[in-house]
Amino acid sequence: MSEGKMKAEERRKIRVLVAKPGLDGHDRGAKVIARALRDAGMEVIYTGLRQTPEMIAEAALQEDVDAIGLSILSGAHMALVPRVFELLKANGQEGVKVFLGGIIPDEDVPLLKKMGVAGIYGPGTSTEIIIRDFHAILNRPR
């Protein structure tokens, strides 16, 4: 990558899609994270409730995001997350990092990370930790 392109990439704000896949109707946590990421200088697109993996992948493509934050409280993460990755790959977006928040049993964490989930956050995780991780994983210093 040329030096000029690299500097332009560093100046470009991190673009994050925050989505609530599945039938879960609780979005307070997703809204808190969206606001925290926005307050930290990132561009945030919040898709709202009851998004399908197809809707999420299409929005990620249209919005040219660097990362997707999925908030799942329904227990459907082992069905929804692999489908999101499958669709991202089909769209040529393997470089988009996927972060997951919600109620995730400890026994599912290793498999989710093996799938490629960049960060997994449970209830009560500090927004400062999440922001720090986004910057570190996306190689964008604050």
Nearest residue to 56 (alpha-carbon basis) of 42, 71, 73? 71
Side-chain-side CA neighbours of 98 within 13 Å: the count stands at 30
CATH class of 15-136: alpha beta
Contact 101, 79 (CB under 8 A): no
Nearest residue to 82 (alpha-carbon basis) of 59, 100, 58, 65? 100
Average pLDDT over the chain reads 92
DSSP structure class, residue 14: P
Residue carrying the six token digits 């299409």: 58
35 φ, ψ (degrees, to nearest 5): -65, -40
Helix, coil or strand: residue 119: strand
Rounded CA Rg of the chain: 14
Q: What DSSP element (H or E) covers 59?
A: helix 53-63
pTM to 2 decimal places: 0.90
Nearest residue to 95 (alpha-carbon basis) of 44, 129, 139? 139
pLDDT by residue, tens only, the chain of 142 residues = 455 554 555 568 999 999 999 888 888 999 999 999 999 999 999 999 999 999 999 999 999 999 999 999 889 999 999 999 999 999 999 999 999 999 999 999 999 999 999 999 999 999 999 999 999 999 877 6
